[in-house]
Amino acid sequence: MSTVDVYVSKEQPSIADDASIKNAFYDAPTVVTLFAPRKFLYAESDACVAAENMLLAATSLGIGSCYIGSAWDSFDNPFGHETLQRWGVCTDYYAVLHVLLGYPKDPMGEIKARPRKGERLIWV
């Protein structure tokens, strides 16, 4: 790395930050790819809402999860095109995002919300 470290996340660097990371999916045992119709106005929003629900459900079950956006480029090559054809994905659909699922190496423990501060409430 250069003398100036630039991280997407210092807690969990991405392959853009750390050249030693060779697997873009962080060796997750399960990768879910959400596809949507290319010409549907709310395709990305709907996929993101579905992914959010998956992430929340996974957390409630003690399963680690990670959202990876811009999944279309995962299939933007000859091998990717062949894979989509083998899977039977219609050509008018595209990969919106990936959700990684697996049990974390370090147990997350119980996630507790921090106490709310009354003076920070905004009433509309």
Residue range 8-57, pLDDT digits in tens: 566 666 666 666 766 778 788 999 999 999 999 999 999 999 999 999 99
57-90 residue pLDDT tens: 998 888 889 999 888 888 888 998 999 999 999 9
Residue 110: what residue type?
E
Domains in the chain with CATH codes? 30-103 (3.40.109.10)
Shortest CA distance to 98 belongs to which of 40, 56, 63, 54? Answer: 54
